[in-house]
Amino acid sequence: MILRFQSGSSREHVQMVREGLEKEGIRTLLSTETARPLVAVIDKTPPALLDGLKQDAQIEDIVPTRGDRRMVERAFFEQPSKVRIGSVEIGGGKVVMMAGPCSVEGRDFMLESARMVRDAGAQVLRGGAYKPRTSPYSFQGFGVEGLSQLKDAGEAYGMPVVTEIMDAAHLPAFVDHDIDMLQIGARNMQNFTMLKVIAEAGIPVLLKRALSGTVDEWLYSAEYLSAFGSPQVVLCERGIRTYEPATRNTLDLTVLPLLREWTHLPIVVDPAHAVGVARFIRPLARAAVAAGADGLIVESHPRPEQARSDKDQALLASELADIVADTRVLAAVTGRSYHP
């Protein structure tokens, strides 16, 4: 449960309540929210203690939580939270565009791609240095050298970068190259050992939904990250596996209004990995922004036919610019703004 104190409640009183609970072996967490004190109670509270909390005049409300989640619960923050990567803020009423090639394919190529992404109006550069591929014979990425090429391209054009980490053993290289955001791919969403290690680095995380992951499972993975040291988590819906084979996956936009009720975390949508066909990405991107997404992440490539991975869903510069233009309009229509 989450204790929502009255605005203006003293720090001393909140601490007294926490100490009283912890003396009974009940763990608590204090939200970083500044508008009012919010305290998550982790362990089951005996009826007598619960009655005492209900009688506390400074506790405005006691909100039950869904299962064992605490830190990602909607009630743990007064307003939806924001995550900052470099100069870009995800959440808070501004819609963000993340774009770039599926794979880092060379230093000159990344500089060309970064310029293309910036000129189209996106704010965050994406690119895979380590690539999870279904076939062991497919291009696996450039590894550490790819991280260097991605970061250098982002710095050259003033953009923070996001890239996927596939193994906790790779984390030192990501830290050494000052990667702004770590992406947890769909295949690793429930790799809890990896989540714990990555969380301890304290770097913002883009957490993709697993191919068959339920919303509950997805949020529990976000809770792992938050509980072990990385509360700056952005959720990413990228399509789920269903019985329908006509497209790569099925984009589940029903989660957007649902997640607004269940969690305070920002949410971005990846329509490219959902549909897998470049010409279908634009209408899905429109739908995602209209449904309330805090941002989009798409794949773009100067020459899609030459892409070393996911060429069928890679957008040309003009196609990316069209989606940015759509996003500006739809953000305004829904009472938000496109990130400058």
The answer to whether residue 285 sits within a structural domain is yes
- Give me 84's structure tokens: 């900052």
The answer to whether residue 158 sits within a structural domain is yes
The answer to whether residue 72 sits within a structural domain is no
Domain boundary among 12, 29, 64: 64
Which residues lie closer than 8 Å to 294 by C-beta, 6 or more apart? Answer: 90, 91, 94, 95, 96, 234, 266, 267, 268
Cβ(71)–Cβ(262) below 8 Å: no
59 and 153: one domain? no
Per-residue pLDDT, 142: 80
Domain boundary among 64, 97, 113: 64
Q: Which residue has the tokens 């050298």?
A: 145
Residues in the chain: 340
45 and 127: one domain? no
The answer to whether residue 77 sits within a structural domain is no
The answer to whether residue 76 sits within a structural domain is no
Domain boundary among 15, 34, 64: 64
DSSP class of 145: H
b/e sequence 237-273, b meaning 16+ C-beta within 10 Å: bbbbeeeeeeebbebbbebbeebeebbbbbbbbbbbb
H or E element that contains 154: helix 144-156
58 and 88: one domain? no
Cβ(247)–Cβ(222) below 8 Å: no
114 and 142: one domain? yes
CATH of the domain at 237: 3.20.20.70
205 and 165: one domain? yes
Per-residue pLDDT, 136: 76
138 and 223: one domain? yes
171 and 250: one domain? yes
Q: Which residue has the tokens 């769909």?
A: 186
135 and 230: one domain? yes
CATH of the domain at 14: 3.30.70.1140
Per-residue pLDDT, 308: 86
Q: Mean pLDDT, 10 residues at a time, over the chain (340 residues)? A: 94 95 95 93 92 94 93 95 96 96 95 98 96 69 90 98 96 96 96 96 97 97 96 96 92 97 98 95 98 97 90 95 98 94
Domain that holds residue 22: 2-64
The answer to whether residue 110 sits within a structural domain is yes
60 and 146: one domain? no
The answer to whether residue 73 sits within a structural domain is no
The answer to whether residue 75 sits within a structural domain is no
- pTM strictly above 0.85: yes
Q: Give the other-Cβ count within 10 Å of 4's Cβ.
A: 21
40 and 136: one domain? no
DSSP string of 167-208, one letter each residue: -GGGHHHHHHTT-SEEEE-GGGTT-HHHHHHHHTTT--EEEE
In the chain, the amino acid numbered 185 is G
Specify the number of domains making up the chain: 2
202 and 285: one domain? yes
Per-residue pLDDT, 199: 96
140 and 240: one domain? yes
